[in-house]
Amino acid sequence: MSKSVLLKSSLAKKYWMALTGLFLCLFLVGHLAGNLQLLKAGEEGRRAFNEYAYFMAHNPVVKILSYLTYISIIFHVIDGFLLFAQNRKARPVKYAHTRPQENSSFASRNMALLGTLILVFIVTHMQNFWYKAKISNGPFPLHTLVKEIDNQEYDPATGAIVNKKQDVKLYLLTNGQYQMIDLEDKDNIELRHNTEIYSKKLDVKVAEGYKDLHSLTTAFFGHDNSKYGFPKNDLATVAVIFYVVSMLVLIFHLWHGFSSAFQSLGLRSKKYAPIIITVGKIFAVVVPVLFAVIPVYLYLTK
């Protein structure tokens, strides 16, 4: 393999765009599958979502995928800007009068603009959730699972100790088991790094709690979750509109991007082109619409 060709040539840049783009499409599917948990009602939904979030943050395979996602985004962005800059240079004098709408779609001509808007969205989105969940060292409320419990019986599904007619707080132990812990027992229990629960006496991590991302999310889109420690977001309306509009932008980006990736990789042929284009368009609409449904739903059900 000649390395310089695969880095420098204009075609190679397109391959990278296509590969990273398609990978990000896969990421979207995974992300969407998790986010759809937000549509589940009540405590059940809250728990499902938080479990999903926990899984995403802790599974080693997912971890690799997530790093790949970061790299893909960064590469897609940098490569995209390089291409854009080159393309601008390729026509130093612009047409005085041009009617590109006669020969190409709006989306196809404005991938860089659409991509930039999506980048703005991603940054905002990450600040809204990812940063708070992952980076920020500030206090972050943990998920308190409220269960109706039979007397001292074990739930066969989760292995949690259950107690009848009593609200208990369950946390996931580092070994995957559930245990009842009284966080108010300040003498024996200490919370470190936001989610890790230590026994003061033994100085041993006895459990790890969920960060309550579900409540964070619902609060962000307008739910009054002050009981969980999340103040209501006064700008929820703006947030919902911003998220919906961003998904609209994503529709356009994918509308062209999906089938374009196949074209760039040379995977399109007369026989398969119609399938690729159709699948691409369905993907481009369905995925962002489902994403957009979530904040709208949350906003409306507050």
Footprint of other proteins (CB under 8 A): 1-2, 5-6, 8-15, 83, 86-87, 89-100, 102-105, 108-109, 111, 256, 259-260, 262-270, 273
Write the CB contacts of 265 (distance below 8 Å, at least 6 apart in sequence). Answer: 15, 18, 19
Residue 89 CB, shortest distance to other proteins, in Å, is 6
Q: Exposed/middle/buried for 217, CB within 10 Å: 0-12, 13-18, 19+?
A: buried
216 within 8 A of 230, measured Cβ to Cβ: yes
Bridge partners (DSSP) listed for residue 236: none
251 or 276: CB nearest other proteins: 276
Distance CA 256, CA 249 (A): 11
C-beta closer to other proteins: residue 100 or 159: 100
Phi, psi (rounded to 5 degrees) for 204: -125, 140
* Least distance between other proteins and beta carbon 96 (Å): 5
* Minimum distance, C-beta of residue 136 to other proteins, in the bound complex (Å): 38
At its nearest, how many Å lie between other proteins and the CB of residue 162? 57
CB distance 250 to 118 below 8 Å? yes
Nearer Cβ to other proteins (159/266): 266
Q: Which is nearer to other proteins, 111 or 168 (CB)?
A: 111
Tokens of 144: 């308190």
Compute the least distance from the CB of residue 83 to other proteins, in Å.
5
Q: How far is CA 29 from the centre of its chain?
A: 10
